[in-house]
Structure 1
């Protein structure tokens, strides 16, 4: 596809609108590719180091597309389309927050990142692929929508990147602090500490390998420490009462990916 001198139509008008928004065309878009549009196209090409033909060919339109030119209004291709890219997004946007939060704790950056991926990876990926900024994504991290026993109607139950539960921590959630990634990361560590203290009191830290202990704590973040204690007492896998029975396994998969970024 190319747009050039003497072409007319809606595509030309959209190209003119793009050039005007970019500051290269001073005239009003009219759908007629005349000398002004040719010169504006050359100016665009010069600015971006493209051969100055005055014809909007594949190289020129490709550069324009990277700047948002989308004449067919096609949905943008998702840039987060793999687990590795999802974990890279966490590292780029939340890595510093996690590092600060886990200082002087037993947790590692990849551990908190893995839980985040398991809790809200599907959510932030959707919004990041829509081009929303991080600050806005923070305000959209609501999940676990449904009606639990005692609820008057369907509602969200998990809030923030680490899905802090409103039933267990209503003061935190209702304060709105869950929209602050720093505050939510700190709350997630506090929640994990509660799981650790309970399971230590039950003697499981001394009786499990390091990996099994971390899996037990991770599983407890999802299904509760009481259920993990019950699973271990019955000599079942720690994920036996987690959602889909694979919570800690999946978190550990994400941890491995994060470690290799």
Structure 2
């Protein structure tokens, strides 16, 4: 009988051992909690949810019950912390951060694709000469900011003494030159006893891209009578749109810091939400 080398027998025994190991592993269920390579696809209207022991959803992504698609991050108590998308045509594809009480504290805008919706950002004004008797026009307030939200709001009041009338103008500069666009003009009068007149201005940021630098000013002119006119800024901010009609018009494609054309024409009439008020005190 021919002699079989010992190393060959060792190799045969090692091969048998490996075959047994492979046979055993083929009968084992592979791990289902790890993906090391490749891509996971959920199609046909599917979704993925991560649900805690209490039944609260910590993460869900995919198709929502209304048929749209989005992503939701939740807190331990089930309240939403961050969502992309949502129900209804007004909020479709919006990105929103939610407070624990259920208010959207950070979001893009429902009707303007180019602007921030929330938070509303205050716009501080600096007085130069709040009181004037100029008949040719004097600047009383200045403000400068970058456009973030799509709608501008200003609350203002003006005092006129007896038998005096004045013109108030809100102007904007976006071109970086000494060219000013008229955003709003209105008249006030003191009547027979002198009075304060309140005005509220709401205006879309027409043709102004997000993050455009803008300078604003308020000009006062005495148009009739003797004495001085005084204007106070009560407050001012940028905010989100409330209706589709408040969405700003799109900026021209050629808009730049140095060549940006200013909006022409008078702005639309503002709703009369603040009636004129009378105050007995003088400025």
Structure with greater strand share of residues: 2
Normalised by the length of structure 2, the TM-score is: 0.24
Higher relative contact order (CA 8 A, sep 6+): 2
Higher helix share: 1
TM-score normalized by structure 1? 0.25
